[in-house]
Chain A
Amino acid sequence: MTSITLSGVNKSFGANFPVIRDVDLEIADGEFCVFLGPSGCGKSTLLRMVAGLEMAYSGQIRIGDRVVDKVEPADRQVAMVFQNYALYPHMSVYENMAFGLRQAKTPKDEIDRRVKEAARILQIEPLLDRMPKALSGGQRQRVAIGRAIVRQPKVFLFDEPLSNLDAALRVHMRSEIATLHRNFPAASMIYVTHDQTEAMALADKIVLLHAGKDMLKHGSIAQVGKPLDLYHRPRNLFVAGFLGSPTMNFIAATFIGQETAGAHVALKGGEELLVPVDGSKLAAGAPVTLGVRPEHLAPVPGPAGQTLTRKVSAVEHFGEYSFVYLDGGTPAPLIAKVPGDGGVKAGDTASYQAPADCCHLFDADGIALTQI
């Protein structure tokens, strides 16, 4: 049993600054769960609470069937990989990896076997005698992962492990962590990152945490689900706006009425669109926000049904695709991600179709209306 259950977990630093708010979460055996969110949302704190390095103010944490709230970090059968590697600077790579096993009084032969096996998996065998200061960032990260592997934990915890690496190495190490998950299918993994690309690439499940101006939501779970669920079916404006690069376009709109095929809305720019959601609880004239991702805006020759026609304010070319910036977004300009050079230039007026099934509608509280 390597599942992790958090029930009603709260944490605050001082009386007036809650960092984790009412977190209820189930992470299944062998699942790769990513805690995602902007800086300061409490994702690392939540991870550290699972590790036992931070105490919850209230609530319960279970690993498998065992409540671990009062269990020492070393006895939780978790291993953690830190952002800054946290290698023991005065010990060789071998000693770094063996340290935890020595503390657990593991027989010498077994320590040697496990360290060498981990070194083989991570291809760091030639580095075993080196000191940490003689290693590159990528090598240090491998040693940190090796130190976690040798303990054969039930749960692997990763606290932004790739954020100190350069872009190319980050992509490489990301695939190695995915391989590690395949090699240790029984162990659950929790991975903290603010990088949605890492989250989308690695996660079986993403836990997106709230942060920002709304202090009543800060540190609470904005949405939990499979990566593509969060991407295609965001539960609220925060999730819709956090996932995706460039971010989802938002346009202020007014609810006109509910039809069988969906909610009929009028955009601030004057267009009327149909969004396949259930808006039956909304009153006619209610303010709503339409959301559509840049890659779902398809260029069309001119105004027609489900289209947005706007003045082009700028075009950015990236070779394979271009970003066309259009007037009229809320609060940022609209962006259409189109293939090639986009076929337009700044100052043109261009039309883009927003397919109904790619549109999202959010009520005045920022909650997504249910898709039908």
Chain B
Amino acid sequence: MTDISTRSADGGAGGAALSLRKLAPVVFLAPAILMLAVYLLYPLVDSFRLSLLDWNGLGSNAQFVGLDNWKKLLSDTLFWEAAWNNILLAVFSVLIQMPIAVILAVVLDNAGKGSRILKILYFLPLLMSSVALGVLFKYFYDVNFGPLNALLDYVGLGYLAQDWLGDTRFALGAVIAVICWQYIPFYMVLFMAGLASFPAEISEAAKLDGASEATIFWKMKLPHLKGTIRTAAVLSVIGALRYFDLIYVMTGGGPEGSSELMATYMYRNVFSSFQLGYGSTVASGMFIVVILIASVLLRFSKRYETEV
């Protein structure tokens, strides 16, 4: 009898401990899950719901239109042009930001203690608000009073002066240049962290083997950074596909939609044209495009990792 009661008491305590152990992950994960549900999952599902409506977002006159908005989106050249601009932004972001960030990281890594101030200076753009940066560069590119045209004029290249943000040929490029300028420091820091983990003995062994600094960079340091570069490129592409703020502040997607991105197009539909239903369709379409491209990239980079 005693045995049985003891066992049952133990079993009770054990059971309580077990259920507590099962409960602990739920308790710890709950806040994060709740936040994700409220700020990510619900808006996501709701925007798909809204995409089935014709609604200005203000009154109670929402009409269910089925897949009409989706049909419209598929044939909406403005959306696809915006998506193409996003792809251009992603491609140029990777092509411009990665090499410059690698070069800066290598230079600063070799510069020793004297580079501390430079590191802070290079990092400053990332600390600035995008809106402030947008306003600053809007002035920088200004056709009449902007320092860029003044500088071109000063060095005798005045004939190259342009209405950088007002010309359909240059607007997107001008903003891409600022975006690159803002984000290069972020990738530079990532690569510097990668280089910091490069074993000094390998450089020394290579020096003893007669390798030049350039050879050490190409054959040792760059392969060492491959993983970081791959991750940075994926981050850069995903960031570019969702990009909004600098474009909105500097060009608002114009002129004539030449710098329109999916996000600015969505914003215009929802908040300027008051087409909440169609704007939600654009948002959902953008989500699908980003998910598709990100999945392909992540899958590719994972396969590459396994191969290496």
Interface residues of A, Cβ cutoff 8 Å to B? 51-53, 72-75, 78-80, 82-84, 86-91, 99-100, 103-104, 147, 151
Is the beta-carbon distance between B199 and A84 smaller than 8 angstroms?
yes
Per-residue CB contact flags for chain B residues 186-212 toward chain A (1 = under 8 Å, else 0) read 000000000000010110111111110
Is the beta-carbon distance between B208 and A79 smaller than 8 angstroms?
yes
Is the beta-carbon distance between A74 and B224 smaller than 8 angstroms?
no
Is the beta-carbon distance between B205 and A82 smaller than 8 angstroms?
yes
Is the beta-carbon distance between A86 and B220 smaller than 8 angstroms?
no
CB neighbours (8 Å) of B224 from chain A are 89-90
Is the beta-carbon distance between A88 and B205 smaller than 8 angstroms?
yes
Q: Does B158 contact A (CB under 8 A)?
A: no
Is the beta-carbon distance between B204 and A82 smaller than 8 angstroms?
yes
Is the beta-carbon distance between B209 and A100 smaller than 8 angstroms?
yes
Is the beta-carbon distance between B215 and A103 smaller than 8 angstroms?
yes
Interface residues of B, Cβ cutoff 8 Å to A? 199, 201-202, 204-211, 215, 219-220, 223-224
B112: min CB distance to chain A, Å: 14
Identity of the chain B residue whose Cβ is nearest the Cβ of A153 in the assembled complex: B208
CB neighbours (8 Å) of A72 from chain B are 207
CB neighbours (8 Å) of A80 from chain B are 204-205, 208
In whole angstroms, how far apart are the Cα atoms of A87 and B224 in the complex? 13
List 23 interface pairs A-B (beta carbons < 8 Å), by A numbering: A52-B208, A53-B207, A53-B208, A72-B207, A73-B208, A74-B207, A74-B210, A79-B208, A80-B208, A82-B205, A84-B201, A86-B199, A86-B204, A87-B205, A90-B219, A90-B220, A90-B223, A91-B219, A99-B209, A100-B208, A100-B210, A103-B210, A151-B209
In whole angstroms, how far apart are the Cα atoms of A256 and B83 in the complex? 99
CB neighbours (8 Å) of A103 from chain B are 209-211, 215
Is the beta-carbon distance between B210 and A104 smaller than 8 angstroms?
yes
Partner of B208, one of A74, A84, A87: A74
In whole angstroms, how far apart are the Cα atoms of A198 and B204 in the complex? 25
In whole angstroms, how far apart are the Cα atoms of A147 and B204 in the complex? 14
User: Which are the 8 A-B pairs with shortest beta-carbon distances?
Assistant: A100-B209, A74-B210, A103-B210, A86-B201, A90-B223, A86-B205, A82-B201, A73-B208
A189: min CB distance to chain B, Å: 15
CB neighbours (8 Å) of B219 from chain A are 88, 90-91
A23: min CB distance to chain B, Å: 21
B306: min CB distance to chain A, Å: 14
CB neighbours (8 Å) of B199 from chain A are 84, 86
B212: min CB distance to chain A, Å: 8
Identity of the chain A residue whose Cβ is nearest the Cβ of B201 in the assembled complex: A86
A33: min CB distance to chain B, Å: 19
A49: min CB distance to chain B, Å: 13
Identity of the chain A residue whose Cβ is nearest the Cβ of B204 in the assembled complex: A53
CB neighbours (8 Å) of B205 from chain A are 80, 82, 86-88, 147
In whole angstroms, how far apart are the Cα atoms of A91 and B201 in the complex? 15
In whole angstroms, how far apart are the Cα atoms of A103 and B214 in the complex? 12
B153: min CB distance to chain A, Å: 49
CB neighbours (8 Å) of A89 from chain B are 202, 223-224
Is the beta-carbon distance between A86 and B202 smaller than 8 angstroms?
yes
CB neighbours (8 Å) of B206 from chain A are 88, 99
Is the beta-carbon distance between B207 and A99 smaller than 8 angstroms?
no
In whole angstroms, how far apart are the Cα atoms of A88 and B220 in the complex? 7
CB neighbours (8 Å) of A82 from chain B are 201, 204-205
CB neighbours (8 Å) of B210 from chain A are 74-75, 100, 103-104
CB neighbours (8 Å) of A87 from chain B are 202, 205
Identity of the chain B residue whose Cβ is nearest the Cβ of A91 in the assembled complex: B219
A99: min CB distance to chain B, Å: 5
In whole angstroms, how far apart are the Cα atoms of A52 and B204 in the complex? 10
- Which residue, A51, A52, A86, A89, has most C-beta atoms of chain B within 10 A? A86
CB neighbours (8 Å) of A79 from chain B are 208
CB neighbours (8 Å) of A86 from chain B are 199, 201-202, 204-205
In whole angstroms, how far apart are the Cα atoms of A100 and B202 in the complex? 13
Known: A74-B210, A86-B205. 14 other contacts (CB 8 A): A51-B208, A74-B207, A80-B204, A82-B205, A86-B201, A88-B202, A88-B205, A89-B223, A90-B219, A90-B220, A90-B223, A100-B210, A103-B210, A104-B210
In whole angstroms, how far apart are the Cα atoms of A64 and B155 in the complex? 59
Identity of the chain A residue whose Cβ is nearest the Cβ of B222 in the assembled complex: A90
CB neighbours (8 Å) of A104 from chain B are 210
In whole angstroms, how far apart are the Cα atoms of A89 and B199 in the complex? 10
Identity of the chain B residue whose Cβ is nearest the Cβ of A80 in the assembled complex: B208
In whole angstroms, how far apart are the Cα atoms of A78 and B201 in the complex? 15
CB neighbours (8 Å) of A83 from chain B are 201
Is the beta-carbon distance between B201 and A74 smaller than 8 angstroms?
no
